[in-house]
Amino acid sequence: MSDSSFEPKIVAFVCNWCTYTGADLAGTSRMKYQSNVRMIRLPCTGRIDPMFIIKAFESGADGVLVSGCHPGDCHYTAGNYHARRRWILFRQLLKFVGIDESRVFFSWVSASEGKKWVDVINEVTDTVRSKGPFTNYQKLNKEFTING
Amino acid sequence: MDIGYYPGCSLTGTAKEYDQSIRRVFSELGINLVELDDWSCCGATSAHATNHLLSVALPARNLSLAKKQGLKEIFIPCAACYNRFVVAKYEMEKNPGLKKRVEEMIEEKADTDIGIVNMVEMFQRIDKELILAKRQKELKGFKVAAYYGCLLVRPNSITQFDDAEMPTSMEEIIKLTGAEPVDWNFKVECCGASHSITNMNVVLTLSKRIIDDAAENGAEAIIVACPMCHSNLDMRQRNISKQDSQHKNMPILYLSELIGLSLGLDKESLGLGLHFTDTEPVLSRFSTAIVAKE
Amino acid sequence: MSSHSNAKHKERMTLADEIEELTGINPLKCYQCGKCSAGCPVRIFMKVSPNKVVRLVQLGLDDEALKSETIWMCAGCLTCSTRCPQNFDLAKFMDALKEIAIKKGVITRKDILKFHKAFLKQIEANGKAFEFGLIRDYKLATFNLFQDMDIAPEMFFKGKIKLFPHKIKNRDAIKKIFDKANKE
Amino acid sequence: MMRIGVFVCHCGENIGKTVDCPTVAKEAIKLPNVVYSIDYKYMCSDPGQNMIKQAIAEHKLNAVVVASCSPHMHEKTFRKACAQAGLNPYMCEIANVREHCSWVHDNVEEATKKAVDLIRMTVERIKFNFPLSEIKVPITKKALVIGGGISGIQAALDIAGAGFKVILVEKEPSIGGHMSQLSETFPTLDCSQCILTPRMVEAYQHPNIKLYTYSEVDNVDGFIGNFKVTIRKKARSVKENLCTGCGLCVQKCPIKKAPSEFDEGLANRPAIYVPFPQAVPNIPVIDRTVCTFFKTGKCQMCKKVCGRDAIDFEQKDELITEDVGAIIVATGYKLYKIDKKSKDAAVKGYGEYGYGKYKDVIDGLQFERIASASGPTAGEILRPSDKKQPKKVVFIQCVGSRDPSKGFEYCSKICCMYTAKHAMLYKHKVHDGEAYVFYMDIRAGGKGYDEFVRRAIEEDHVKYIRGRVSRVYEKKGKYIVKGEDTISGVPVEIEADMVVLATAIVAQPEAAKLAQTLGIPYDKYGFYAEVHPKLRPVESSSGGIFLAGACQSPRDIPESVAMASAAASKALVLFGNEMLEREPIVAKVNENTCVGCFYCKKVCAYNAIELKEIKDKKGNLVKVVASVNTGLCQGCGTCNATCPSKSIELIGFNDEQIFYQIKAL
Amino acid sequence: MADIISIARGVFENKKADILIGYTKATSEGRTRPVIVRSADEVQNLVLNSSCLNNLATYLTRKENKGKKVAIVAKGCDIKSIVQLIAESQIKRENVYIIGVKCNGVKRSFEGEDSKKIAEKCLNCNVRTPHLADETVDMSDEGLTGKDEKAELIEKLDSMSAEERFAFWEEQFEKCIKCYACRQACPLCYCERCIADKSMPRWVESSPTKRGNFAWNIVRAFHLSGRCIGCNECERVCPAGIPLSLLNRKMVMVAKSEFGYESGMSADAPTLIGTYDLKDKEEFIK
C-alpha cells in the first residue's frame, strides 16, 4: 500500500451558493478539518464539466470531490439536476474504462451544513489517503512528460 | 373462466353456507372455482397479533402452492383471509429481507405475483348483463344495508379496494338483484370479530350499534361478504335479544346468498336455513315467485 | 434515516427502538392528535387510550406501555391506521407491542393470549383452524366453561362444528413454519 | 504582459495566527508574473486599501490577488478599491485563506503551504481574467400586478401612489378576492367589506392604475426591467364602455339557479351577473356555460332590456400586450375541497367527515358567507339543510393541513385564528348556542392573536377540545362528531347541528402553469418560492418578479398587506434607477464554432438562449446559432458545461480560468 | 415492392429531393461505397444489399449538403441517427426524404471471416422495419448469423477489477494514433470545431500520448452518451482496431438502465442530456 508519509492531493469543485458558503460557515464556526483539499469555486454544479475531473487527474490529483446544492435548493433552479444526470453517466464511464470511480466523490452540502462539509472533507481525505497515490493516472502523466 | 379458490377455515365450518352459496352461484354464472389443493390456514388475527413472521409465512405457503398449481389468481371470499393474503404479499414485496426469511421458513420460493380477488371484486368481474339475464326474481323493495366491515377496505393503500370511508361497490352489485341498498353510517365500522370468543361484551356492543343503525335507516337485512362479520352479527343477535328485549331481529345475508336468491336458486341450496337469525320473515315475500320459476 | 436509529448507539434498546426494528415505525412520528382514539371502536373498553400508549412509548415509560390492557383490546380493525394523518400504522404498532410483551412475559390479558395460543395450536397440528378443538382448549384454559353453551348444540346440528379436525396433507410443512417462527 | 500584485491579509490574528503571512508574501513574489507582494494586518481597512491603490499606481499592476477572507465578505470592497485606482474591478480576485484555511486548520506549516497553493491557483486563474463592465439594461417604469385581492390591490396602490403606472389583472369579474367574501376579520372583528371596499374603489379610480378584470396573463416574455406581457381579456359578453351598471339585465335574466361562486354555492345567481353588490367594476358578465342563449340560441332577455345596447353575444377574448418593468404576483389561494377525491393519489379526501354528502358540514369560507351580513342568510346563522338555527356547532381544525396522509404536511396558518373568530361570531349571534372547537395546537402568534383566542375561550365560552375528530355521521338530523379529548384522555361524542371544517389553504389550481409562464420556481404544493426565506422573502429568483400574499404560502390579511407593500417597494427600488446594472457574469457564444445543436437552450432555466441567424453578405442564411440574452442570463454556466464543442463560455468563470486553476495544483 | 433504382428514379421524377445519398458498387469485389446521385440519369448504379455498411446519415450534416433537400437510403439504425440529428436541430425533417430500408442485418465487415458474419449491432436490432420513413424498400435477407462477442466482452470487463479494466483500456488506447476517423465516420460528431481541436484552453492533448488518448476517448464516449445510436461506424473505420463500440454500447446500456432512455427513437422526445428527472438516482451522492 501507500507509504505512510503520503499526503493526497485532492481537488474540490464546488458551487458558490451552497457548498462554498457551507465551507465558509465551517470556517466561521472554527471547525477543523484536514488541509489536503484545494477548492475551486464555480457558480453552480451545472457549470462543472465532468472533463474537469479528468483535467484534475492530469494535473496529478489523487482524488476529486464535486459538491453543490441539495436537490431543490439550486440557486439557479435546476443546475444541480442537470449536473446530477451528467454525473450518473460519467461515473459509469469512468468505471468502465478502469479509472477508479471511488476516487471521485459527490456530495450535496448546503450553506448551513458546515459540519457536513467537515465530515465530507475528512472522509474524502481519509479514503484517498488509504487508497494511496493514483498511480494509474500518474503513469499516464509520466509518459507525457517524457514525450512532451 | 377458471379461477383459484381459497375458501379458508371458516367456510369449512361455521360459515359453510357461505361456501355452499358461492359454489352454487358461481357455477350458475359459469365460473369454475378450482380449489387450492392442500391449502392451509392464513393464521388469522392470532398470528398477526402474536408473531409477525408467522402471519406472513402462513399465507406465503398458500401463495407458493397456487403458483405450483398453475393458478394466476385466487378468489378469497373470507375478508379476513383476503386481508392477510394481500398484506403478506405487500410486505414481502416491500421488504426483500422479510421475503427471504419467509422463504427459509416455507422452504419454497415465495410468490408475490399471484392475484388476490375478494368477494365483491368477483362479482365486479362478471358481466352485469349476464347477471341481469340470469335473474329470475327482481328483489324489488327489499331494503338492505351493505356492510363492508374492516378488512375489505383497510388498509386502503394495500388492498386498493374501493374507498376506505365511503365504499359503494357492493351497492352496485346489490342493485343488480333489484334490492335497494340504503344509505347508512356503519358500512366500514368494526364489529369486533377478533374478540368474538374472548370478549363477548365488546362484540355485543359493537354489533348492536351496527344493526341498530341499519334498522334506523330502513334496512330489512344486512348484506355481508365476510364470515367473521356474519357469525358475529348473525349468531350474536341471540345474546343481544337477551340483553335487550326490544331488539328486532335483523337477518344477515351473504352477498352470494342475495345474488343466489335473485338467480332463483332455492334457499336450501344457498344454505339459508343454517343461519341463526331467521331469514324467513323478510324473505318469505319473495319465495313464491322463486319456487314458481323453478 | 429516522431519528430513532441514533438510539442504536445506546447501551440498552428501548421499547421504541425495538418497535422500530420490528416494524419500521418510528414512534416519534405520532404527534398525538388523538384521531386514533377518537375513532377506535373499542375505545370505550379501554382504560388507557391508544394515543396514550404511543405517548408512553415516546416517553420511555416502557413497562406502562407493555402492561396496558389496551394493546390486547385492539381489535385490529385498522380504522386508526387508515385515518391517521401521519400515516402511522397504529394497528401494526399494537401488534408489535403484543409480540414484545409475549417475549418479555408481560401479559396483562392472559385470556386473550390463551385464545390466540389455542387457535395457533390447532393450525400447527392440523394446518387449519378446528373450531371444536379451539373452543375446547380455550375453555379448558380459561375455565370459562359456560359461554356459548346455548349456541354450541345448534352449531353442531347445523353441521357448522365438527367433532374431528380436518387435517391437511402436508402438515410437516406447517410444523416447520411454526418451529422456525417460534425460534426467531 | 501581466503584472500581478499579491496582497496577503493577516486579518489581525485570524489569518496571521495559523498562516505565516510574511512567508506567504515571500513565496508569492516568486510566482511568474507576480511583480509585487506584501502582507498587512488588515487589508480591508482604509490603510490596507490604500496600499493596494498605491501599489497599482506605483507598480503598474494590471491584476490584483488579495489573500484574505471569503469573497462573500470582501470581494466587493477590494474590487471597489481597485476601481478607484483605475483598475478594472474584474481584474481583482480573492484567495480565501481565512474561512477555507486559517480558521479550519491548526498546523501552521500545513496552513501556510495551503495558503500559498490557493494564491498560486488564483494567480494562474487571474491571468485569464479580462476587464469587464457591468451590463446596463433600460427599465420600463411600469408594473404588472397579477391578482386583484387585497395583496394585489395594496401593491398596485403603493406603486401608483409613488407615481408609476400599474396594470392590475384579475381573473374574476370583480377585484376584491377572498377578503370580499369574509364577514368580520380577526383579531379586531371589523367588517371586512367595510375596510376593503374603499380600497377597491380607490384602485379602480386611480389615474395610474389600469384595471383588467375577467382577464388572465397568457404569456410573459423578456426580463427584469423589460417584460412584454400578453393579457387575455376574456369575453364578458357585455360592452364595458356602454354598461351603466343599472342591473336590469341581472334582474330579468330567466336563469336564476346557477350556484354563486361568491356565496360558495350557498346561494344562486342568474346567468348574467355581478358577483356581489359592491363589485368593482360594477359591470355584469354572462356565464356562457349556463346562459340559455348560448345553449339554445334563444332568449336574449338581457339584450332586450338593456337600454344602452351593451350586451354583445359575439364578443371574443381579446389579447392585449403591455410592456412592464416589474411584475408582482399576488394570485392568492384556494380552499382545499375535501369532498373531491382527487385523481392525485396523494389526496385521498375525507369520507369520514362526510363533506359533500351532508349539507350541514361546510367549510370556513361557507361559514363566512353565512355569518356575513351580505350573505345568503343576511348574517343570520342558519344551517344550509333546513335553514334552522343550529344550537350546537362543531368546528374542526387542521382538515387537510398537517396531514401528510390525506392532505398536506404544512400548517395552513390562518385556521386557528379564523376558527376562533367563527366560534366567537357564532356565540355572539346565537347566545344560547354551544360552540366546540377540535384543535391540535393553537397557533396564535400575531399581534393580539392569542388574546383573541383566550377571549373566545374565557369570555365567549367556546369549548376547545384538543384532538382530531375521527368521524362525523348523520343520525336523525344531528351530526355525530366522534373525537377524543387527548388532554383528559376521555372520548367525546357531540351531537351537533352543524359542522364547520377548517380546510387547508392550497395553492391556486393554475399556480404551476402561471409559474411556468413567468419562469419562477414553486414548491411541490404549487406555492411560489421566494429566493431567500429570510432575507429576500418577497422576491422570486427571477429578477423583477416579486411575490405578495398567499400565493407564496398561507398568509393572513396583515401579512399579505405587508408583503404587498414590501413587493411594491422592491419594484419601486427598481424604478428608482434609469438603467439596471448587472454583474457581467453571463454566457457568451462563439458564433464561429457554434453548430446550433441548442443543448445550451435545453439546459437553460432562464430561457436566455435565443436563436440567431447568421447570414452571408448576400443575405443568404448560413446557419442558425445560439445567442445569449444577457438580460435573462443569470450566469450559472450550465450551458458551458453542456456544450460539446465549448462554443459557449461563461464570462468570469471560463474554461481557461478553471483549467489553469487546476493546473496550478 | 419496388427496388432501390426505381424508387430513386421516382424521387427525382417527382422532385422529392435535390440529391440522393445511396450506395453503389465499389471497385473491390464485395464492397459498396456511398454515392451522391444528382439526377434520375445516375440512379442505375445504385445497389442495396448486406454489404451496405456505411451509415449515410453522416453526409447529411456535411456543409455542401446543407440547405438542400436530400433523399437518403437509410437502414433502421441509420434512421435512428437521422432522428437524433433532427432532435439536435442539425437537420429539418422536411428537408430529408427517407428511403427506409427493411433490413435483416448487414455484414460485420467487407472482407475476411467477418464478412460472413452478421454485424453485432444487427443482433438486437429493434428497427428492422424502419420507424421513420417516407417510403420503404426491402433488402434481401441473406441469412447472416453470428455471435454477439462484444456483449460477452462487456460482461467480462464489468466483472474485472478496476486495475484490470484500466490495463485493458491502456493497451487499447495506446494504439490510438489520433487520426479521428472515428469522429469523421460518426453521424453525431457534427461539431464544426471539435473539442479535441480546441486550444486556449486545450481539453485534449493533440499528440497521441497515453493520457491524451485517454482524454480523447473518454470525452468522445461522454459526448455520445445518451446520443449514440449504436451504428458502430467508429469501430468499423478505426485503423488501429480499437473496440470503440464497447464504450458506446456500455453507455447505451447505462442510459437504458439508469434512465430507461433510448436515443434515436423519437425526434420529439426529450433528449437525455438537456433534461432531468427529479427522481434521477443519487445514491452515490453523499
Query: Coil, strand, or helix at residue D575?
Result: helix
Residue E280 included in any domain: no
Residue E8 domain boundaries: 4-138
pLDDT at E166 over 90: yes
Q: Please state, rounded to an integer, the average pLDDT across all residues of chain E.
A: 92
Residue D563 lies in a domain: no
CATH class given for the domain over A10-144: alpha beta
Q: What is the pLDDT of residues D511-561, one digit of tens each?
A: 989 998 887 878 889 999 888 778 889 998 788 999 999 999 999 999 999
Strand pairing class (B180-181; B143-146): parallel
pLDDT above 90 covers what percent of chain D? 89
| Topology given in CATH for the domain delimited by B2-119 | Glutathione S-transferase Yfyf (Class Pi); Chain A, domain 2 (1.20.1050)
> How far is the alpha carbon of C16 from chain B, nearest alpha carbon, in Å?
17
From residue D104, alpha-carbon distances to A9, D66, D99, D107 in Å are 17, 19, 7, 10
Q: What is the predicted pLDDT for the residue at B287?
A: 63
Mean pLDDT of B103-117: 93
Q: Are residues E21 and E129 in the same domain?
A: yes
Q: Do A60 and D663 touch (CB under 8 A)?
A: no
pLDDT band at D339 (very low <50, low <70, confident <90, very high): low
Task: Name the pLDDT band for D347 (thresholds 50, 70, 90).
Answer: very low
| Alpha-carbon gap: D450 to the closest alpha carbon of chain C (Å) | 21
- Supply the ipTM of this predicted assembly: 0.69
Residues D28, D121: contact at Cβ < 8 Å?
Answer: no
By residue count, chain E amounts to 286
The answer to whether residue D145 sits within a structural domain is: no
Residues of E with Cβ-Cβ distance to A98 under 8 angstroms? 160, 162-170
Whether D288 shows a pLDDT value over 90: the answer reads: yes
Select from B39, B57, B198 the Cβ nearest to the Cβ of C177: B57
The Cα-based distances of E182 to B82, E107, E185, E219, E237 in angstroms read 61, 19, 5, 13, 6
Weakest-pLDDT range from B48-52, B90-94, D115-119, E63-67: E63-67
d(CA D654, CA C60): 58
Q: For residue D187, report the phi and psi dihedrals to the nearest 5 degrees.
A: -95, 10
DSSP D141-205: -EEEEE--SHHHHHHHHHHHHTT-EEEEE-SSSSS-GGGGG-SEETTTTEEHHHHHHHHHHHHHH
Task: Give the Cα-Cα-Cα angle C160, C162, C165 (nearest 5 degrees).
Answer: 130
Residues in B closer than 8 angstroms to D476, CB to CB, are 216
Could you tell me which chains touch chain D, where touching means 3 or more CB pairs under 8 A?
A, B, C, E
The CATH number for B132-285, chosen from 3.40.640.10, 3.40.50.11810, 3.20.20.140, 3.30.413.10, is: 3.40.50.11810
* Three-state SS sequence of A80-133: HHHHHHHHHHHHHHHHHCCCCHHHEEEEECCCCCHHHHHHHHHHHHHHHHHHCC
Mean pLDDT of the region A63-78: 89
**DSSP label at residue D216:** E
Domains of chain C in start order, with CATH, are 1-107 (1.10.1060.10), 109-184 (no CATH)
C154 contacts B53? CB cut-off 8 A: no
Q: Is A35 on the interface with D (CB under 8 A)?
A: yes
**Which of residues D93, D126, D159 is at a domain's end?**
D126
- How far is C71 from C81, CA to CA, in rounded Å? 14
Q: Is residue E222 part of a domain?
A: yes
The CATH code of the domain that includes D356 is 3.50.50.60
Strand segments, DSSP code E, in D384-466 are 392-399, 434-439, 463-466
Tens digit of each residue's pLDDT (9 = 90 or more) over B216-248: 999 999 999 999 999 999 999 989 999 888 999
Q: Is residue D363 part of a domain?
A: yes
Percent of chain A with pLDDT over 70: 93
In a domain? residue E56: yes
pLDDT at E243 over 80: yes
Residue E19 within any structural domain of the chain? yes
CB-based contacts of E152-155 (< 8 A; 24+ apart in sequence): E153/E243, E153/E246, E154/E246, E154/E249, E154/E250, E154/E253
Better-scored residue on pLDDT, B294 or D493: D493
A78 grid coordinates:
435546476
Mean pLDDT of chain B: 92
Q: Does D359 touch chain B (CB under 8 A)?
A: no
Same domain, E197 and E239: yes
CB D288 within 8 A of CB D393: no
Total count of domains within chain E: 2
Q: What percent of chain D has pLDDT over 70?
A: 98
How far CA E58 is from CA of D204, D224, D646, E54, E74, in Å, comes to: 64, 43, 21, 9, 11
Examine residue D391 and state whether it is found in any structural domain, yes or no: yes
Q: How far is CA E153 from the centre of its chain?
A: 20
pLDDT over 50 at D493, yes or no: yes
Domain boundaries, chain A: 10-144
Residue D375 domain boundaries: 333-506
* Residue that finishes a domain, picked among E82, E111, E138: E138
> Which one of D126, D151, D171 terminates a domain?
D126
First to last CA, chain C: 25
Q: Determine which of A38-47, D351-360, E46-55, E257-266 has the lowest per-residue pLDDT on average.
A: D351-360
- CA-nearest residue to E163 within chain A is A98
Q: pLDDT per residue over A20-65, tens digit each?
A: 999 999 999 999 999 999 999 999 999 999 999 999 999 999 999 9
Rounded CA-CA distance C129/C147 in Å is: 20
- In tens, the pLDDT along D646-655 reads 999 999 999 9
Query: What percentage of chain E exceeds 90 in pLDDT?
Result: 82
Q: What pLDDT digit, counting tens, does each position of D567-621 carry?
A: 999 999 999 999 988 889 999 999 999 999 999 999 998 889 999 999 999 998 9
Mean pLDDT rounded to a whole number for chain D: 94
Residue E130 is assigned to a structural domain of this protein = yes
- How is residue A46 written as a grid cell? 451545472
The one-letter code for the residue type at A45 is T
Q: Which of D599, D603, D644 sits opposite E195 (nearest CB)?
A: D644
Q: Are residues D112 and D22 in the same domain?
A: yes
Mean model confidence pLDDT for chain A? 90
Q: Chain D interface residues facing chain E, Cβ-Cβ under 8 Å?
A: 592-599, 602-603, 621, 623-624, 642, 644-647, 655-656, 659-660
The residue of chain A with its CA nearest to that of E246 is: A96
Instruction: State whether B13 and C161 contact (CB < 8 Å).
Output: yes
Distance CA D616, CA C121 (A): 93
Residue in chain B lying closest to D345 (CA):
B157
Looking at the partner chain, which of A59, A76, A118 has a beta carbon nearest the beta carbon of D605? A76
**CA separation for the pair C121, D173 (Å, rounded):** 73
What are the pLDDT digits (tens) for D121-180? 999 999 999 999 998 889 999 999 999 999 999 999 999 999 999 999 999 999 999 999
pLDDT digits (tens, 9 = 90+) for D228-242: 999 999 999 999 999
- CB of A33 within 8 Å of any CB in chain D? yes
Least CB–CB distance from C129: residue in B9, B61, B189:
B9
pLDDT band at C11 (very low <50, low <70, confident <90, very high): low
E89 touches chain D (CB under 8 A): yes
Residues of B (260-279) whose Cβ lies below 8 Å from C? 274, 276
State the pLDDT at residue D348.
58
If asked whether residues D502 and D376 sit together in one domain, one would say yes
Kindly state whether residues D490 and D629 are assigned to the same domain: no
Q: Do D467 and C37 touch (CB under 8 A)?
A: yes
- D448 with D597, same domain: the answer is no
Does any domain span residue E269? Answer: no
User: All 3 cell numbers of residue B26?
Assistant: 358461481
Please indicate whether chains C and E are in contact, defined as at least 3 beta carbon pairs under 8 Å.
no
**CATH classification at residue D41:** 3.40.50
pLDDT exceeds cutoff 50 at C3: no
Greater confidence, A5 or B107? Answer: B107
- The string of pLDDT tens digits covering residues D92-131 is 999 999 999 999 999 999 999 999 999 999 999 999 999 9
Stretch D650-662: mean pLDDT, rounded? Answer: 95
Residue D464 within a domain: yes
Is residue E36 assigned to a domain? yes
Q: Which of D98, D126, D154 finishes a domain?
A: D126
Q: Does the residue E271 lie in any domain?
A: no
Q: What is the pLDDT of residue D115?
A: 97
In one letter, which amino acid is A144? F
Which chains border B (3 or more CB–CB pairs < 8 Å)?
C, D
Give chain B as a 3 state SS string: CEEEECCCHHHHCCCHHHHHHHHHHHHHCCCEEEECCCCCCCCHHHHHHHCHHHHHHHHHHHHHHHHHCCCCEEECCCHHHHHHHHHHHHHHHHCHHHHHHHHHHHCCCCCCCCEEECHHHHHHHCCHHHHHHHCCCCCCCCEEEECCCCCCCCCHHHHCCCCCCCCCHHHHHHHCCCCEECCCCCCCCCCCHHHCCCCHHHHHHHHHHHHHHHHHCCCCEEEECCHHHHHHHHHCHHHHHHHCCCCCCCCEEEHHHHHHHHCCCCHHHHCHHHCCCCCHHHHHHHHHHHHHHC
Interchain CB contacts (distance < 8 Å): B and C: 159
Q: What is the pLDDT of residue D615?
A: 93
**Looking at the 3D structure of chain D, how many domains does it have?**
3
Chain C from 132 to 171: CB within 8 A of any B CB? 135, 138, 147-148, 150-151, 154-155, 158-162, 166, 168-170
Q: What pLDDT does residue C154 have?
A: 81
pLDDT for position D105? 96
C33 touches chain B (CB under 8 A): no
Give the Cα separation of D616 and C172 in Å (integer).
89
Residue A115: pLDDT band (50, 70, 90) is very high
Give the rounded percent of residues in chain C with a pLDDT score beyond 70.
Answer: 91
- Alpha carbon of B133: minimum distance to chain C alpha carbons (Å): 34
Sort D298 into a burial class: Cβ within 10 Å, 0-12 / 13-18 / 19+.
Answer: exposed
pLDDT reading at D625 higher than 60: yes
